[in-house]
Amino acid sequence: MLNPKKLEQFAQQIHDALPQGVKNFGGDVEAKVKQVIQAQLAKLDVVSREDFEVQTQVLIRTREKLSTLEQRLQALESKLVSDESQSAVESAQSTE
């Protein structure tokens, strides 16, 4: 889901920003920071970039199909109106 290298970079930046006394407090500060970050990110409703890109492509294809179907429907509706008009004219001419 999340890029481990990015997570490690983020944890390292936090670790580097800590005062020297806190850094010396324990060798596992970086591991604890990673755990906290992972726990907080796990609570968020996020998707990976790859999943987002896949869904974006699906949405683009769906929009294209919808546009095509709308055009076909409009053409069919126009044809239906035209056919009904022509039938009405023919009907009126035959009754004369």
Mean pLDDT in order along the chain per 10 residues (96 residues): 75 79 66 83 83 96 98 95 82 71
* Separation CA 12–CA 30 (nearest Å): 7
pLDDT at 45: 79
pLDDT at 93: 74
3-state helix, strand, coil in the chain (%, to 5): 85, 0, 15
pLDDT at 61: 98
* Separation CA 92–CA 96 (nearest Å): 7
pLDDT at 52: 93
pLDDT at 58: 97
pLDDT at 2: 65
Q: How many CA within 13 A on the CB side of residue 74?
A: 6
pLDDT at 1: 55
φ/ψ of 95, rounded to 5, equals -85, -10
